Amino acid sequence: MKPRQIVPNVYLIGAVDWDRRLFDALIPLPRGTSYNAYLVQGGEKTALIDTVDPSKWTELAAQLDELPAPDYVVVHHVEQDHSGSLPMLLERCPGITVVCSEKARTMLVDHLHVDGARFQVVADGDSLSLGDKTLTFLSTPWVHWPETISTYLVEDKVLFSCDFFGSHLATSDLFADEGDVLDGAKRYYAEIMMPFAPQVMKNVEKVTQYQIAFIAPSHGPVYDDPRLIVDAYRDWAGGPLRNVVCLPYVTMHDSTRLMVDHLTAALVERGVAVERFDLVTVDLGELASSLVHAATVVVGTPTILGGPHPLASHAAFVANALRPRTKHATVVGSYGWGGKTVDSIVGALGKLKVEFLPPVLAKGMPRDADYAALDALAETIAEKHADLPPRHGA
Ligand SMILES: Cc1cc2nc3c(=O)[nH]c(=O)nc-3n(C[C@H](O)[C@H](O)[C@H](O)COP(=O)(O)O)c2cc1C
Ligand SMILES: [Fe+2]
Ligand SMILES: [Fe+2]
């Protein structure tokens, strides 16, 4: 795509990766992604903000052909989807200076073997004048890695936020449409930002001390109404959990499914919303999104080879790594003779600050007593959720 102007002399460049379907060898990309770079042309100097995934270098190079040669490249974040083209850029522009945090400097040397002589290290609050445009660098650690910074373009009130506020969304839209972007932005938050929710909140408060007219992230469209994504982030990272049970499950011969079906109906009957995920076909991003707001997680799994089904173990492992703010958890499922299924799931969720509710395990196909235990579990969950806001709305 050709460079697109956001405000005079500030351009969105980079690449839309329409066809990519997996990120970090883990994260599904149902709508592709983009690697946004930006060019800020000041009266005296020009800065390139980030580069692109190395697979898209030729697209960025073609755009740079049409623009003034950059004097600086600001590297917000060392992950290769934004910095992977830096070695090619440095070869193409021998005079360019790499502007980044001290942590990023050492990481660029480690990850990309960049020549250490080409850096200008900046600290939190430092500014760089391009003439009539001024870049102020803000330390925003853990959105996504510890070295990450954001850049505020003072005169035009543009916040270049890198992964922070991003979305894996391939689109021809320059500016975000509320109906189109929020699902993807929430998935992205869940997959990338949720493990660092307290730092995310600090960074949201930090950057919003500045007047922001545009948020220009490194994935997905630009926000010309920054409140949309800022308010969403405040809700996802720090707002109330919802009256929702997230229910990932797997079954081999349908006994666990009978239990999950019964529990779903019993919860709905008691006014508790259920978000169910068959782990055979699950899109991990949808499961992660559900974990952003669900107050309770119930893992449904049969016992297999002495423990949970591997798909349930995997889901629990991922949930544990993503550190949702979930308050309650338990396990339901069927077994044949015995095993450590509950202990194993409880152990796998060890990082979560959850209260474990009594599990429900049925020997073989569930009987009346098992269904009664599921009703009791639903009752307990409904009581625990009594004061929570509904799944949708305030
Ligand atoms: C491959 C395999 C391994 C199993 N290993 C165990 C086990 O270690 N302990 C146990 O109690 N049951 C074990 N079972 C029995 C299942 O837990 C039991 O059949 C259960 O009802 C299956 O639930 P489902 O219908 O939801 O798949 C195993 C079943 C299979 C197919
Ligand atoms: Fe990243
Ligand atoms: Fe990224």
The residues of the chain scoring below 50 in pLDDT are none
DSSP β-bridge partners for residue 249: 278, 300
**Could you tell me the two tokens for 20?**
């990519």
The one-letter code for the residue type at 196 is F
Ligand closest to CA 309: 1
Strands (E), 307-359: 307-308, 328-335, 355-356
Tell me the per-residue pLDDT of 13-59, one tens digit each, with 9 for 90 and over.
999 999 999 999 999 999 999 999 999 999 999 999 999 999 999 99
CA dihedral (10, 159, 30, 235) positive or negative: negative
**Residue 55 has what pLDDT?**
98
34: left (phi over 0), alpha (psi -120 to 50) or beta: beta
Give the domain ranges of the chain: 4-238, 244-384
Distance 375 CA to ligand 1 centre (A): 23
Ligand 1 neighbourhood includes 341 CB (under 6 angstroms) = no
The pLDDT assigned to 393 comes to 79
Query: How far apart are the CA of 203 and the centre of ligand 2, in A?
Result: 16
CB 302 less than 6 A from any atom of ligand 1: yes
Is there a shared CATH topology between the 4-238 domain and the 244-384 domain? no
Identity of residue 294: A
Query: Ligand 1 pocket test: which of 249, 252, 313, 370 has the largest number of ligand atoms within 8 Å of its C-beta?
Result: 252
Q: Which fold has domain 244-384?
A: Rossmann fold (3.40.50)
Gap from CA of 256 to ligand 1 centroid (Å): 10
Top-level CATH class of 4-238? alpha beta
Q: Is 315 helix (H, G, I), strand (E, B) or coil?
A: helix
